[in-house]
Amino acid sequence: MSSSLRARPQTRWWALIVISLTQLVVVLDGTIVNIALPRAQADLGLTDGQRQWVVTAYALAFGALLLLGGRIADYVGRKRIFMIGMLGFGAASLYGGLSQQGWELILARGLQGAFAALLAPAALALLTVTFPSGRERNTAFAVFGTVAGTGAAIGMLLGGVLTEFTDWRWCLLVNLFFVVIGVVGGAIVLTESRAEGDNRYDVWGALTVTLGLGLLVYGFTLAENGWGDPLTIAFLVAGLALLGVFVWVESRVSQPLLPLRVVADRVRGGAFLIQGVAGAIMIGATVYLTFHLQFVLGMGALQAGLASLPLPIATMVLAPVATKLLPVIGPRPMLIVGPLIAAAGLFTLSGITPDGAYLVQIAPALVLLGIGMGFVFIPLQNLALSGVAPHDAGVASAVANSAMQIGGSIGLSVFTAVYAASVGGHAQAEVSPEGLTDAYGWTFIAASILMVAASVIAACMIRGSKDVLLPAQGDAVLAAH
């Protein structure tokens, strides 16, 4: 049996705190720069296209490298990779905070994403083997899921506070405090675990999936120039072709980067797809909310951060209720109804006007979105790793995180294309407040359609009774030990 499972009970709960803190850093860094973007853009002379890449570079590097990061964590040791990821993430954050040119900030964000790709799967794999089954596992994953669900919105609030009272650079430098806590806490309370047996790296799988995802996301970013643009089509086709080669490679190698059994399970596959949609909303759609708050309503960075609070507050208030409901009704009803509630919130946001009152047009919509996301995130982490053996724990957690980040990258690119089409390709400074509001409204309509699609995915793929979807004992996990 893994040494993680022999850890003392009190140590396990301290480990949960450290791991959840890690997840908070990884998720909030996807959005913490959102509110700081206008000031960073002015300070470093970024174009509108480069501004998007400050967000996309992080999510793209994170999502594209997560599978490799998960396997490295499984083979080298999850605690060891956790510590390396933490230190590298801190160094990249320091570099970004001190950047003097736009390309340096974008490069630093990419490096942050690369080290997060080591850190995140190691953390979630440690959580999986530390809480293998039963009521404690449900509680641990509820805490972890709540952090994952609220991290993006907390990032916007923290970004607003730091930008208003210090400087936009502190949106990156603040990570150093989290890194120190994570490294010290991890060294004390985390116990090493790794996959046993003959472990080999799947080099061709790593190359094809990383290049495939990279080309695919870049193709979506080019869609703002038009979906019929030859370059856009070329990158999208090339990305899809490489991902097809990746699947072919994985079905034939003895030690695949992504064992197809991890994603072939219908329930887990559905969970991964819903995770991707959730990422598109929490990473992609929230960018345009912050733009509306600042560029149209004229809010400062702190005001815009505070204005985003109804979303995480609603999710956190709902979390205890959803956690108690989960073993009673099972995850399927929650994953069908939750996205529909979130879709209603996003559709409400599509009705914003330049002179509309925040308390009338935006706050109620954010509450609905937060409630809906609470019903999504609480069961999602559990389902994504249900029945996964410890040997695949790192890669399964990597797929869950990768789905979120790649979904965010593609979502932001699609929403940017919708926005660009609405404003006719004009620069933001050339568009009236009415034109901007109309463009933002269309992005929220697109986001609401995605959430309805997530509900349909849940209805079709998350099948089975609550006892089947949430087994009382982690027999598959324990048997593998």
User: For the segment 141-183, what is each residue's pLDDT rounded down to a tens digit?
Assistant: 778 777 766 676 678 778 888 888 888 999 999 999 889 988 9
- Over residues 253-264, mean pLDDT: 84
Strands of 56-208 (E only): list them.
Answer: none
pLDDT of 198 reads 61
How many CA atoms lie less than 13 Å away from 197 in the CB half-sphere?
A: 11
Q: Is 116 exposed, middle or buried (0-12, 13-18, 19+ CB in 10 A)?
A: buried
Count of all residues that appear for the chain in the document? 481
pLDDT of 98 reads 94
Whether 267 has a pLDDT exceeding 50, the answer reads yes
Task: Output the average pLDDT for the chain.
Answer: 84
User: What fold, for 11-190?
Assistant: Growth Hormone; Chain: A; (1.20.1250)
Q: What percent of the chain has pLDDT over 70?
A: 90
Token digits for 96?
Answer: 């970004």
- Over residues 49-68, mean pLDDT: 82
* CA nearest neighbour of 394 among 60, 123, 148, 25: 123
Containing 279, the helix (H) or strand (E) segment is helix 266-279
- Same topology, domains 11-190 and 259-480? Answer is yes
Query: Directed axis angle between helix 102-130 and helix 393-422, to 10°?
Result: 140
Residues 112 and 86: their CA atoms lie apart, in Å, by: 10
- Residue 445 neighbours by CB distance under 10 Å: 16
pLDDT of 88 reads 96
- Residue 379 neighbours by CB distance under 10 Å: 33
- Over residues 354-378, mean pLDDT: 92
- Over residues 271-296, mean pLDDT: 88
Whether 467 has a pLDDT exceeding 80, the answer reads no
pTM as predicted: 0.79
CB of 386 closer than 8 Å to CB of 470:
yes
- Over residues 17-35, mean pLDDT: 81
Model confidence at 10, in pLDDT bands (50, 70, 90)?
low
User: For the segment 88-146, what is each residue's pLDDT rounded down to a tens digit?
Assistant: 999 999 999 999 998 999 999 999 999 998 988 888 778 877 776 667 777 787 787 77
* CA nearest neighbour of 376 among 460, 265, 307, 277: 277
Whether 63 has a pLDDT exceeding 70, the answer reads yes
Strands of 232-382 (E only): list them.
Answer: none
Token digits for 438?
Answer: 């109309």
Model confidence at 340, in pLDDT bands (50, 70, 90)?
very high
Domain ranges of the chain: 11-190, 203-254, 259-480
pLDDT of 276 reads 92
Residues 327 and 322: their CA atoms lie apart, in Å, by: 9
Residue 134 region by backbone torsions, left for phi larger than 0, else alpha for psi between -120 and 50, else beta: left
Residues 417 and 439: their CA atoms lie apart, in Å, by: 10
- Over residues 56-83, mean pLDDT: 84
| CATH 1.20.1250.20 at 259-480, yes or no | yes
Whether 5 has a pLDDT exceeding 80, the answer reads no
pLDDT of 350 reads 93
CB of 389 closer than 8 Å to CB of 268:
no
Model confidence at 286, in pLDDT bands (50, 70, 90)?
confident
CB of 44 closer than 8 Å to CB of 87:
no
- Over residues 289-298, mean pLDDT: 89
